[in-house]
Amino acid sequence: MDVKRWGDRIPHIVNKGFYDQWFVDNQPIGTIGGASTAGMRFTKPEEIKLEGNFDDVLLGGYDPDAHVKDLDLDGIYADYLYSSVATNMYAIEDPNLLRAIFVAYNDWLAEFCKTNPLRLKGIAHILLDDDRKAGLDELDRAATIGLAGAMIPIFPRQDLYYEEQFYDPLWEKAQALDMPLSLHIGTRRPGSRNMADQGQITQGPADRSTSDYWVRLSLGHIIFSGVLERYPNLKIVNVEQDLGWIPYFMDRMDTTYKDRPFQISYSFKNGALPSDFMKTNVYHSFQEDALGIQLRDYIGIDKLVWGSDYPHTESTFPESQRIISEILDGVPEEERVMILGSNCANLYGIDYPEY
Protein backbone atom coordinates (compact mmCIF):
# COMPACT_ATOMS: atom_id res chain seq x y z
CA MET A 1 0.00 0.00 0.00
CA ASP A 2 1.01 3.62 -0.51
CA VAL A 3 2.49 4.63 2.86
CA LYS A 4 2.81 8.26 1.80
CA ARG A 5 -0.92 8.41 1.07
CA TRP A 6 -2.31 6.32 3.91
CA GLY A 7 0.29 6.53 6.70
CA ASP A 8 -0.79 4.86 9.95
CA ARG A 9 -4.26 4.17 8.54
CA ILE A 10 -2.74 1.10 6.86
CA PRO A 11 -3.36 -2.20 8.73
CA HIS A 12 -0.63 -2.71 11.31
CA ILE A 13 -0.01 -4.42 14.63
CA VAL A 14 0.44 -2.47 17.85
CA ASN A 15 1.82 -4.14 20.96
CA LYS A 16 -0.50 -3.42 23.89
CA GLY A 17 1.74 -4.84 26.58
CA PHE A 18 0.76 -8.47 27.03
CA TYR A 19 -0.91 -8.84 23.63
CA ASP A 20 -0.77 -7.55 20.05
CA GLN A 21 -3.68 -5.69 18.46
CA TRP A 22 -4.45 -5.05 14.80
CA PHE A 23 -5.26 -1.42 14.00
CA VAL A 24 -6.73 0.01 10.80
CA ASP A 25 -7.68 3.63 10.20
CA ASN A 26 -6.65 4.36 13.80
CA GLN A 27 -9.20 1.88 15.17
CA PRO A 28 -8.73 -1.53 16.80
CA ILE A 29 -10.02 -4.11 14.37
CA GLY A 30 -9.09 -7.51 15.67
CA THR A 31 -7.03 -9.40 18.21
CA ILE A 32 -4.78 -12.26 17.27
CA GLY A 33 -5.49 -15.06 19.73
CA GLY A 34 -8.88 -16.27 18.57
CA ALA A 35 -7.94 -16.22 14.90
CA SER A 36 -4.69 -18.12 15.03
CA THR A 37 -4.37 -20.88 17.63
CA ALA A 38 -5.87 -23.93 15.94
CA GLY A 39 -5.35 -27.07 17.98
CA MET A 40 -5.46 -25.48 21.43
CA ARG A 41 -9.09 -26.56 21.97
CA PHE A 42 -7.76 -30.13 22.07
CA THR A 43 -4.52 -29.59 24.01
CA LYS A 44 -4.89 -26.54 26.28
CA PRO A 45 -8.52 -25.36 26.17
CA GLU A 46 -8.16 -23.60 29.50
CA GLU A 47 -5.51 -21.30 27.98
CA ILE A 48 -7.58 -20.10 25.02
CA LYS A 49 -8.07 -16.34 25.02
CA LEU A 50 -9.07 -13.63 22.60
CA GLU A 51 -5.80 -11.76 23.03
CA GLY A 52 -2.54 -13.08 21.66
CA ASN A 53 0.81 -12.19 20.18
CA PHE A 54 1.95 -12.54 16.62
CA ASP A 55 4.53 -15.06 17.78
CA ASP A 56 1.60 -17.32 18.76
CA VAL A 57 0.25 -17.47 15.21
CA LEU A 58 0.66 -20.86 13.54
CA LEU A 59 3.27 -20.66 10.81
CA GLY A 60 0.74 -22.10 8.39
CA GLY A 61 -1.35 -18.97 8.88
CA TYR A 62 1.03 -16.96 6.73
CA ASP A 63 3.60 -19.36 5.25
CA PRO A 64 2.20 -21.37 2.31
CA ASP A 65 4.62 -24.28 2.63
CA ALA A 66 3.79 -24.67 6.32
CA HIS A 67 0.10 -24.39 5.45
CA VAL A 68 0.32 -27.32 3.04
CA LYS A 69 2.21 -29.36 5.64
CA ASP A 70 -0.64 -28.75 8.09
CA LEU A 71 -3.13 -29.84 5.40
CA ASP A 72 -1.17 -33.09 5.11
CA LEU A 73 -1.13 -33.51 8.89
CA ASP A 74 -4.89 -33.03 9.00
CA GLY A 75 -5.63 -35.29 6.04
CA ILE A 76 -6.93 -32.45 3.84
CA TYR A 77 -6.09 -32.24 0.14
CA ALA A 78 -7.06 -28.68 -0.79
CA ASP A 79 -7.98 -25.49 1.04
CA TYR A 80 -10.11 -22.53 -0.05
CA LEU A 81 -8.69 -19.60 1.85
CA TYR A 82 -10.82 -16.94 3.48
CA SER A 83 -9.24 -14.11 5.43
CA SER A 84 -9.23 -13.89 9.22
CA VAL A 85 -8.79 -10.38 10.61
CA ALA A 86 -9.43 -8.86 7.18
CA THR A 87 -13.08 -9.92 7.32
CA ASN A 88 -13.58 -7.32 10.07
CA MET A 89 -12.29 -4.63 7.74
CA TYR A 90 -15.61 -4.42 5.90
CA ALA A 91 -16.59 -2.23 8.86
CA ILE A 92 -14.12 0.48 7.78
CA GLU A 93 -16.01 3.64 6.85
CA ASP A 94 -13.72 4.97 4.11
CA PRO A 95 -14.37 2.98 0.92
CA ASN A 96 -11.22 4.27 -0.78
CA LEU A 97 -9.01 3.05 2.05
CA LEU A 98 -10.85 -0.25 2.11
CA ARG A 99 -10.39 -0.82 -1.61
CA ALA A 100 -6.66 -0.10 -1.32
CA ILE A 101 -6.42 -2.65 1.50
CA PHE A 102 -8.32 -5.22 -0.55
CA VAL A 103 -6.07 -4.76 -3.59
CA ALA A 104 -3.00 -5.33 -1.40
CA TYR A 105 -4.60 -8.32 0.32
CA ASN A 106 -5.68 -9.91 -2.97
CA ASP A 107 -2.17 -9.52 -4.37
CA TRP A 108 -0.66 -11.15 -1.28
CA LEU A 109 -3.20 -13.98 -1.34
CA ALA A 110 -2.58 -14.71 -5.02
CA GLU A 111 1.16 -14.97 -4.37
CA PHE A 112 0.49 -17.23 -1.37
CA CYS A 113 -1.60 -19.60 -3.50
CA LYS A 114 0.84 -19.66 -6.43
CA THR A 115 3.24 -21.74 -4.36
CA ASN A 116 0.85 -24.69 -4.66
CA PRO A 117 -1.98 -23.69 -7.00
CA LEU A 118 -3.82 -27.02 -6.98
CA ARG A 119 -4.06 -27.22 -3.18
CA LEU A 120 -4.33 -23.55 -2.23
CA LYS A 121 -7.23 -21.50 -3.64
CA GLY A 122 -7.84 -17.93 -2.53
CA ILE A 123 -11.07 -15.98 -2.10
CA ALA A 124 -10.71 -12.28 -2.95
CA HIS A 125 -12.22 -9.29 -1.17
CA ILE A 126 -14.12 -6.75 -3.28
CA LEU A 127 -16.22 -3.67 -2.53
CA LEU A 128 -18.73 -1.80 -4.70
CA ASP A 129 -20.39 0.84 -2.48
CA ASP A 130 -19.92 4.29 -4.05
CA ASP A 131 -17.73 3.10 -6.95
CA ARG A 132 -19.29 0.11 -8.70
CA LYS A 133 -16.77 0.14 -11.53
CA ALA A 134 -13.84 -0.17 -9.10
CA GLY A 135 -15.46 -3.19 -7.48
CA LEU A 136 -16.19 -4.86 -10.81
CA ASP A 137 -12.66 -4.17 -12.04
CA GLU A 138 -11.25 -5.80 -8.91
CA LEU A 139 -13.41 -8.86 -9.48
CA ASP A 140 -12.01 -9.06 -13.02
CA ARG A 141 -8.48 -8.65 -11.69
CA ALA A 142 -9.02 -11.29 -8.98
CA ALA A 143 -9.98 -13.81 -11.64
CA THR A 144 -6.97 -12.83 -13.76
CA ILE A 145 -4.48 -13.35 -10.91
CA GLY A 146 -5.89 -16.78 -10.17
CA LEU A 147 -8.23 -16.29 -7.22
CA ALA A 148 -11.18 -18.67 -7.14
CA GLY A 149 -14.04 -16.50 -5.94
CA ALA A 150 -14.81 -13.27 -4.13
CA MET A 151 -16.25 -12.11 -0.85
CA ILE A 152 -18.86 -9.37 -0.68
CA PRO A 153 -20.31 -7.94 2.56
CA ILE A 154 -22.71 -10.28 4.30
CA PHE A 155 -24.84 -7.19 4.70
CA PRO A 156 -24.18 -4.13 2.52
CA ARG A 157 -24.57 -0.44 3.14
CA GLN A 158 -28.02 0.09 4.60
CA ASP A 159 -29.02 2.42 1.77
CA LEU A 160 -27.98 -0.11 -0.88
CA TYR A 161 -29.45 -3.57 -0.23
CA TYR A 162 -28.82 -6.50 -2.57
CA GLU A 163 -32.32 -6.16 -4.04
CA GLU A 164 -31.21 -3.00 -5.86
CA GLN A 165 -30.54 -3.01 -9.61
CA PHE A 166 -27.25 -1.33 -8.74
CA TYR A 167 -25.84 -4.83 -8.23
CA ASP A 168 -27.00 -6.33 -11.53
CA PRO A 169 -23.60 -5.80 -13.21
CA LEU A 170 -21.99 -7.63 -10.28
CA TRP A 171 -24.27 -10.64 -10.62
CA GLU A 172 -23.74 -10.63 -14.39
CA LYS A 173 -19.96 -10.44 -14.17
CA ALA A 174 -19.65 -13.05 -11.40
CA GLN A 175 -21.80 -15.41 -13.47
CA ALA A 176 -19.76 -14.78 -16.63
CA LEU A 177 -16.45 -15.29 -14.81
CA ASP A 178 -17.80 -18.29 -12.88
CA MET A 179 -16.61 -16.59 -9.68
CA PRO A 180 -18.80 -17.62 -6.72
CA LEU A 181 -19.68 -14.76 -4.36
CA SER A 182 -19.37 -15.45 -0.65
CA LEU A 183 -21.36 -14.01 2.26
CA HIS A 184 -18.99 -14.58 5.18
CA ILE A 185 -19.79 -14.11 8.84
CA GLY A 186 -18.53 -10.81 10.27
CA THR A 187 -18.39 -8.79 7.04
CA ARG A 188 -21.13 -6.21 7.58
CA ARG A 189 -20.67 -2.70 6.26
CA PRO A 190 -20.89 0.25 8.71
CA GLY A 191 -24.22 0.99 10.34
CA SER A 192 -24.92 -2.42 11.84
CA ARG A 193 -22.06 -2.59 14.32
CA ASN A 194 -18.77 -1.06 15.43
CA MET A 195 -15.53 -2.92 14.74
CA ALA A 196 -14.70 -3.16 18.44
CA ASP A 197 -18.08 -4.57 19.49
CA GLN A 198 -16.69 -8.09 19.45
CA GLY A 199 -14.69 -7.28 22.58
CA GLN A 200 -17.70 -6.49 24.77
CA ILE A 201 -18.68 -9.00 27.43
CA THR A 202 -21.88 -10.29 25.81
CA GLN A 203 -21.69 -8.91 22.27
CA GLY A 204 -19.37 -11.65 21.03
CA PRO A 205 -21.41 -14.72 22.03
CA ALA A 206 -24.74 -13.02 21.30
CA ASP A 207 -23.53 -11.98 17.85
CA ARG A 208 -22.13 -15.43 17.10
CA SER A 209 -25.29 -17.21 18.23
CA THR A 210 -27.47 -15.13 15.91
CA SER A 211 -25.04 -14.64 13.02
CA ASP A 212 -27.36 -16.33 10.52
CA TYR A 213 -29.71 -13.34 10.81
CA TRP A 214 -27.57 -11.25 8.46
CA VAL A 215 -27.08 -13.91 5.82
CA ARG A 216 -30.81 -14.71 5.89
CA LEU A 217 -31.62 -11.05 5.32
CA SER A 218 -29.23 -10.73 2.38
CA LEU A 219 -30.29 -14.05 0.85
CA GLY A 220 -33.90 -12.92 1.21
CA HIS A 221 -33.15 -9.71 -0.67
CA ILE A 222 -31.31 -11.60 -3.40
CA ILE A 223 -33.93 -14.34 -3.84
CA PHE A 224 -37.14 -12.32 -3.48
CA SER A 225 -35.89 -9.73 -5.99
CA GLY A 226 -35.39 -12.44 -8.62
CA VAL A 227 -31.60 -12.23 -8.87
CA LEU A 228 -31.12 -16.00 -9.04
CA GLU A 229 -33.84 -16.44 -11.66
CA ARG A 230 -32.36 -13.69 -13.83
CA TYR A 231 -28.81 -15.03 -13.35
CA PRO A 232 -29.36 -18.79 -13.16
CA ASN A 233 -25.66 -19.73 -13.13
CA LEU A 234 -24.71 -17.33 -10.35
CA LYS A 235 -23.30 -19.12 -7.29
CA ILE A 236 -23.71 -17.69 -3.78
CA VAL A 237 -21.83 -19.18 -0.82
CA ASN A 238 -23.11 -18.94 2.75
CA VAL A 239 -19.88 -19.10 4.77
CA GLU A 240 -19.46 -20.05 8.43
CA GLN A 241 -23.08 -19.80 9.56
CA ASP A 242 -23.55 -23.60 9.65
CA LEU A 243 -26.71 -25.41 8.55
CA GLY A 244 -29.41 -26.14 11.10
CA TRP A 245 -31.39 -22.93 10.49
CA ILE A 246 -31.63 -23.37 6.70
CA PRO A 247 -34.71 -25.66 6.37
CA TYR A 248 -36.78 -23.35 8.57
CA PHE A 249 -35.64 -20.32 6.59
CA MET A 250 -36.53 -22.00 3.30
CA ASP A 251 -39.97 -22.91 4.64
CA ARG A 252 -40.59 -19.35 5.87
CA MET A 253 -39.64 -17.90 2.48
CA ASP A 254 -42.00 -20.26 0.67
CA THR A 255 -44.82 -19.58 3.12
CA THR A 256 -44.37 -15.82 2.77
CA TYR A 257 -44.29 -16.07 -1.03
CA LYS A 258 -47.49 -18.14 -1.18
CA ASP A 259 -49.53 -16.66 1.66
CA ARG A 260 -48.60 -12.96 1.57
CA PRO A 261 -48.74 -11.97 -2.12
CA PHE A 262 -49.31 -8.32 -1.18
CA GLN A 263 -45.70 -8.28 0.09
CA ILE A 264 -44.23 -9.84 -3.05
CA SER A 265 -42.86 -7.56 -5.76
CA TYR A 266 -41.36 -10.23 -8.02
CA SER A 267 -43.17 -13.34 -9.30
CA PHE A 268 -41.11 -16.38 -10.25
CA LYS A 269 -41.72 -18.23 -13.50
CA ASN A 270 -43.12 -21.74 -13.90
CA GLY A 271 -44.39 -22.03 -10.34
CA ALA A 272 -40.95 -21.79 -8.77
CA LEU A 273 -40.61 -21.06 -5.04
CA PRO A 274 -37.87 -19.21 -3.16
CA SER A 275 -36.54 -22.47 -1.72
CA ASP A 276 -35.91 -23.75 -5.24
CA PHE A 277 -33.22 -21.11 -5.71
CA MET A 278 -31.62 -22.01 -2.40
CA LYS A 279 -31.32 -25.56 -3.70
CA THR A 280 -29.92 -24.62 -7.10
CA ASN A 281 -27.69 -21.59 -6.49
CA VAL A 282 -26.67 -21.34 -2.81
CA TYR A 283 -23.90 -23.40 -1.22
CA HIS A 284 -23.36 -23.68 2.55
CA SER A 285 -20.12 -24.22 4.43
CA PHE A 286 -20.13 -25.85 7.84
CA GLN A 287 -17.76 -27.24 10.41
CA GLU A 288 -19.37 -29.37 13.11
CA ASP A 289 -23.12 -29.00 12.64
CA ALA A 290 -24.43 -32.50 13.38
CA LEU A 291 -28.03 -31.21 13.40
CA GLY A 292 -27.55 -29.72 9.97
CA ILE A 293 -26.29 -33.07 8.69
CA GLN A 294 -29.47 -34.71 9.94
CA LEU A 295 -31.44 -32.15 7.89
CA ARG A 296 -29.27 -32.46 4.78
CA ASP A 297 -32.04 -33.80 2.56
CA TYR A 298 -34.10 -30.66 3.18
CA ILE A 299 -31.17 -28.36 2.46
CA GLY A 300 -29.76 -30.18 -0.56
CA ILE A 301 -26.88 -32.62 -0.14
CA ASP A 302 -25.14 -31.31 -3.24
CA LYS A 303 -24.83 -27.84 -1.69
CA LEU A 304 -23.07 -28.77 1.58
CA VAL A 305 -19.36 -27.99 1.85
CA TRP A 306 -17.28 -28.97 4.88
CA GLY A 307 -14.35 -26.86 6.08
CA SER A 308 -11.97 -27.03 9.05
CA ASP A 309 -11.74 -23.24 9.70
CA TYR A 310 -7.95 -23.49 10.01
CA PRO A 311 -6.11 -21.68 11.61
CA HIS A 312 -8.82 -20.33 13.94
CA THR A 313 -9.08 -21.48 17.53
CA GLU A 314 -12.39 -23.26 16.90
CA SER A 315 -10.86 -25.16 13.97
CA THR A 316 -11.10 -28.94 13.83
CA PHE A 317 -7.35 -29.05 13.05
CA PRO A 318 -5.54 -31.38 13.71
CA GLU A 319 -8.46 -33.65 14.67
CA SER A 320 -10.50 -33.16 11.49
CA GLN A 321 -10.59 -36.82 10.50
CA ARG A 322 -11.96 -37.91 13.88
CA ILE A 323 -14.54 -35.11 13.96
CA ILE A 324 -15.62 -35.78 10.38
CA SER A 325 -16.18 -39.43 11.28
CA GLU A 326 -18.33 -38.42 14.23
CA ILE A 327 -20.55 -35.83 12.52
CA LEU A 328 -20.97 -37.93 9.37
CA ASP A 329 -21.59 -41.17 11.22
CA GLY A 330 -24.25 -43.10 9.32
CA VAL A 331 -24.05 -40.90 6.22
CA PRO A 332 -23.74 -43.03 3.04
CA GLU A 333 -20.30 -43.02 1.43
CA GLU A 334 -21.56 -41.38 -1.76
CA GLU A 335 -22.91 -38.46 0.26
CA ARG A 336 -19.71 -38.24 2.34
CA VAL A 337 -17.71 -37.85 -0.87
CA MET A 338 -20.01 -35.03 -1.96
CA ILE A 339 -19.89 -33.17 1.35
CA LEU A 340 -16.14 -33.54 1.85
CA GLY A 341 -14.92 -32.91 -1.67
CA SER A 342 -16.93 -33.10 -4.86
CA ASN A 343 -19.44 -30.38 -3.89
CA CYS A 344 -16.60 -27.93 -3.35
CA ALA A 345 -14.94 -29.01 -6.60
CA ASN A 346 -18.22 -28.44 -8.44
CA LEU A 347 -18.71 -25.08 -6.76
CA TYR A 348 -15.37 -23.78 -8.00
CA GLY A 349 -15.15 -25.79 -11.22
CA ILE A 350 -11.98 -27.63 -10.21
CA ASP A 351 -10.92 -31.19 -11.08
CA TYR A 352 -9.25 -33.05 -8.24
CA PRO A 353 -7.86 -36.56 -7.86
CA GLU A 354 -10.21 -39.24 -6.57
CA TYR A 355 -11.35 -38.47 -3.04
Full DSSP string of 132-183:
HHHHHHHHHHHHHTT--EEEE-SS--TTS-TTSGGGHHHHHHHHHHT--EEE
Determine if the pTM surpasses 0.85: yes
Read off the amino acid at residue 102: F
pLDDT for 192 beyond 60: no
The separation between the first and the last C-alpha atoms of the chain, rounded to the nearest angstrom, is 40
Report pLDDT for 203.
67
Residue 36 inside a domain? The answer is no
Q: Out of 53-57, 181-185, 238-242, 249-253, which region has the weakest mean confidence (pLDDT)?
A: 53-57
Strand partners, 335: none
Q: Read off the pLDDT of each residue in 67-88 and give the average, rounded to a whole number.
A: 96
Give SS3 for 39.
coil
Report pLDDT for 201.
61
CA 82 vs CA 120, 183, 185: distances in Å: 11, 11, 11
Phi, psi values for residue 121, rounded to 5°: -125, 125
Could you tell me the pLDDT band of residue 210, with boundaries at 50, 70 and 90?
confident
Q: Read off the pLDDT of each residue in 268-278 and give the average, rounded to a whole number.
A: 98
Q: Read off the pLDDT of each residue in 306-329 and give the average, rounded to a whole number.
A: 96
- Domain range for 161 is 59-348
Residue 147 inside a domain? The answer is yes
Could you tell me the pLDDT band of residue 36, with boundaries at 50, 70 and 90?
confident
Q: Are 61 and 53 in contact (CB under 8 A)?
A: no
Report pLDDT for 205.
76
pLDDT for 91 beyond 90: yes
Query: Could you give the CA distance from residue 281 to residue 165 in angstroms, rounded to a whole number?
Result: 19
CATH of the domain at 244: 3.20.20.140
Give SS3 for 20.
strand
Residue 126 inside a domain? The answer is yes
Q: Are 224 and 246 in contact (CB under 8 A)?
A: no
Report pLDDT for 261.
87
Residue 353 inside a domain? The answer is no
Mean pLDDT across the chain: 93
Report pLDDT for 194.
46
Residue 82 gets the label, from left (phi > 0), alpha (psi -120 to 50) or beta, of beta
Contacts of 314 (CB under 8 A, 6+ apart): 41, 287
Give residue-wise pLDDT tens across range 165-178.
Answer: 999 999 999 999 99
Residue 53 inside a domain? The answer is no
Q: Are 222 and 153 in contact (CB under 8 A)?
A: no
Task: Pick the more confident residue, 78 or 350.
Answer: 78
Could you tell me the pLDDT band of residue 30, with boundaries at 50, 70 and 90?
confident
Residue 272 gets the label, from left (phi > 0), alpha (psi -120 to 50) or beta, of beta
Could you tell me the pLDDT band of residue 314, with boundaries at 50, 70 and 90?
very high
Query: Could you give the CA distance from residue 219 to residue 191 in angstroms, rounded to a whole number?
Result: 19
pLDDT for 289 beyond 60: yes
Alpha helices in the chain (DSSP H): 3-6, 40-43, 64-74, 95-114, 132-144, 168-177, 203-209, 212-224, 227-230, 246-259, 274-281, 290-294, 296-299, 320-327, 333-337, 343-348
Residue 188 inside a domain? The answer is yes
Report pLDDT for 318.
98
Report pLDDT for 31.
83
Domain count, the chain: 1
Could you tell me the pLDDT band of residue 196, with boundaries at 50, 70 and 90?
very low
Residue 66 inside a domain? The answer is yes
Task: Pick the more confident residue, 35 or 179.
Answer: 179
Report pLDDT for 298.
98
Report pLDDT for 195.
44
Residue 2 inside a domain? The answer is no
Report pLDDT for 51.
87
Query: Could you give the CA distance from residue 40 to residue 44 in angstroms, rounded to a whole number?
Result: 5
